[in-house]
Amino acid sequence: MATIIFLSLLATLYAATRSSKGLVDIMFIVTFILIVVLFLHHSTDTLNINL
Amino acid sequence: MSNARLTYTLAHFYVLALVGVLLGAFGIQLIFKEIPCPLCYLQRMGMALAAIGPCLVILHGVRVKFFGMTIVAAILGATISARQVLLHIANSADPGYGTPVMGLHLYTWAFLVFSTMIAVSGLHLWTINEGESYRPARLSRFSKCVLGIFVIVLVANVVSAFVQTGFHWFLPGNPTEYRLFH
C-alpha cells in the first residue's frame, strides 16, 4: 500500500502539470485518504511493539 | 518585487527544503543501514503531499488554494509525527527509534518541519493581497530542475517502499529486513 501511495503522489504531480484543478484535486484527496487509512492501520495494529 | 512574485520564488525553496529532508531520511536509511518504520514512511508521504502545493505554485502561479492544500497535508503529517513522538515519550526508558540527528529523532524533526510549513503557508495567506497573482510566461530551467529533483525523490521512495514491503500489502510493524529479498 505504501508503494501505491507513492505512485499516487507521482500521479498527483503529473496531474498538477496538466491542470490546476479537476483531476489534481481528486488525486490529492484520494492520496490524502489513502495516507489516513494507512496511518489508522499502523496506529491501531495489535503488534506488541513500539514503532 | 511584489508579494506574489516573492511567494512564487520562495515556493521553489520550499520544495527544495522538503526534498532535502526526504534525502536526509534516505541518507540515514542507506548510510546508517536503518530501515524506516511504517510511521517514517507515512511522514515521508506527508512531506511529499505537502510539497504538491508549492509545486502547483511553480506550475500555475500563486493562488490561495495551493496554500490550503499545503496546510491540510502538513496537518496530517504533523499528526503522524506527533503520534510517533508520543509513542516514544510515553515510556521514559524508551530510547526512541533510530539515530538522533543533532539531539532530536527524525520524527521530532518532522514535526518541526510540518509545523513550520503550516506557519509559513499561513504567513503567505496573510500577506498576499486579494486578487494579486504572479505566473511567468514559461517555466524557467531552475523551476524544471526543482520539479525534476522532486520526481526523482518520489521515484526513489516508490522503489524503497516496494523493496521493503515486497509483495505484502502492509509494511512490517518492526522492520528488520527488506522483505523483497527474503
Contact flag A31-B49 (C-beta cutoff 8 Å): yes
Angstrom distance (rounded) from CA A2 to CA B179: 13
Q: Does the structure show a pLDDT above 70 at B18? A: yes
* Contact between chains at A2 and B45 (C-beta distance less than 8 A): yes
Contacts of A5 in chain B (CB under 8 A): 45, 161
| Residues of chain A that touch chain B, judged by Cβ-Cβ distance less than 8 Å | 1-3, 5-7, 9-10, 12-13, 16-17, 20, 24, 28, 31-32, 35-36, 38-39, 41-43, 45, 47, 49-51
Q: Report the candidate in B180, B145, B146, B143 with the shortest Cα–Cα distance to residue B161.
A: B180
Mean pLDDT score of chain B: 87
- Tens digits of residue pLDDT in A11-32: 999 999 988 788 999 999 999 9
Work out the minimum CA distance from B66 to partner chain A, whole angstroms.
9
Q: Above 90 in pLDDT, residue A5?
A: yes
Asked if B175 reaches chain A (Cβ–Cβ under 8 Å), the answer is no
Which one of A39-43, A45-49, B86-90, B169-173 scores highest in mean pLDDT? A39-43
- Residue B9 C-alpha cell reads as 520564488
> Over the stretch B160-170, which tens digit does the pLDDT of each residue have?
988 888 788 88
- Mean pLDDT is lowest, of A9-13, A31-35, B37-41, for B37-41
Q: Give this complex's ipTM.
A: 0.86
User: Is residue B70 packed enough to be buried (19+ CB in 10 Å), middle (13-18) or exposed (0-12)?
Assistant: buried
Q: Is the pLDDT of residue B38 over 50?
A: yes
What is the mean pLDDT of the segment spanning B155-176? 84
pLDDT of residue A48: 47
Lowest mean pLDDT among A40-49, B33-42, B130-139, B151-160: A40-49
- Confidence (pTM): 0.88
Q: Which of A1, A7, A47 sits opposite B158 (nearest CB)?
A: A7
C-alpha cell, B181: 529479498
CB–CB contact A45 B173 (8 Å)? yes
| Contact indicator for B4, B132 with CB cutoff of 8 Å | yes
Compare all CA atoms of chain A with the CA of B52 and give the residue at the minimum distance: A13
Q: Do B80 and A20 touch (CB under 8 A)?
A: no
Place of cell 526508558: B93
- Those residues whose C-beta lies under 8 Å from the C-beta of residue B157, and which sit 6 or more positions away, are A6, B22, B41, B44, B48
Q: What is the pLDDT of residue B157?
A: 92
Cβ <8 Å between A13 and B38: no
**Count of all residues that appear for chain B in the document:** 182
Mean pLDDT to the nearest integer, B106-130: 90
pLDDT range class, residue B1, cuts 50, 70, 90: low
Pick the residue from chain A with its C-alpha nearest to B79.
A39
Three-state SS across B18-72? HHHHHHHHHHHHHHCCCCCCHHHHHHHHHHHHHHHHHHHHHHHCCCHHHHHHHHH
Q: Is B170 on the interface with A (CB under 8 A)?
A: yes
| Alpha-carbon span B14 to B153, nearest angstrom | 15
Selected for mutation to probe chain A from B79, B158, B178 (highest A CB count within 10 Å) is B158
Flag whether pLDDT at B12 surpasses 60.
Answer: yes
Residue A8 backbone dihedrals phi, psi, to 5 degrees: -65, -35
